[in-house]
């Protein structure tokens, strides 16, 4: 097992980021899915994650969701936030990741990825900067460059966005 990257190395990786890709369930949500008898579902999203995504867009970073589940709630939230691409109901996250690289004309080193569970491992290992939410599976925490202090659905994406934007000099509070 390799040691985790030092803070300076993480900052250098963050400076190269041109796109933020993320899983949804367990990252933008707390991982719970509320299914109702009529087939509809309910998900909760943290408003701070939404602002983080909007700030990434303002800083000219592309944003994409890569999720194993298709969901009208996720589609709606992504549209509200101006997410560039939403690949939902995806079984092969690596193929989806590769298609986004091509679509956005970027390299692995220019991608930050936020994940929480085993289907995220290959993409986490390949992306230039990888984040695991605090309550991610142990294998995901071990593979990530950064383990966030915040759990999925509680503002973890915002924490990742702040880290990237600060490294790029795009995070200013006046």
CB-CB contact of 158 with 51 (8 Å): yes
- 34-53 pLDDT, tens digit per residue, is 888 998 888 999 999 999 99
Confidence label for 173 from pLDDT (cuts 50, 70 and 90)? low
Confidence label for 1 from pLDDT (cuts 50, 70 and 90)? very low
| Cα–Cα distance, 60 to 52 (Å, whole number) | 13
Query: Would you state the pLDDT for residue 5?
Result: 63
For the residues 131-153, what does the mean pLDDT come to? 97
Single out the residue of 118, 122, 112 nearest to residue 148, CA to CA. 112
- Between 64 and 8, the more confident residue is 64
Helix axes 156-167, 47-58, angle to 10 degrees: 30
Which domains occur in the chain, in start order?
A: 7-43+53-66+75-83+101-167 (3.40.50.1000)
22: tokens are 């993320």
| Cα–Cα distance, 129 to 13 (Å, whole number) | 6
């Amino acid at each position: 097992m390799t040691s985790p990257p030092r803070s300076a190395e993480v900052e250098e990786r963050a400076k190269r980021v041109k796109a933020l890709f993320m899983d949804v369930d367990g990252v933008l949500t707390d991982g719970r899915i509320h299914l109702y008898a009529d087939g509809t579902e309910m998900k909760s999203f943290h408003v701070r994650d939404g602002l983080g995504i909007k700030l990434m867009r303002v800083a000219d970073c592309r944003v994409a969701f890569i999720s194993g589940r298709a969901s009208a709630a996720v589609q709606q939230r992504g549209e509200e936030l101006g997410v560039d691409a939403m690949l939902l109901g995806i079984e092969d996250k690596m193929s989806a990741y590769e298609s986004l690289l091509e679509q956005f004309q970027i390299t692995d080193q220019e991608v930050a990825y936020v994940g929480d569970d085993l289907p995220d491992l290959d993409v986490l290992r390949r992306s230039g900067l990888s984040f695991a939410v605090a309550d991610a599976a142990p294998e995901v925490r071990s593979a990530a460059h950064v383990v966030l202090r915040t759990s999925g659905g509680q503002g973890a994406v915002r924490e990742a966005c702040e880290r990237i934007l600060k490294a790029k000099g795009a995070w200013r509070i006046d």
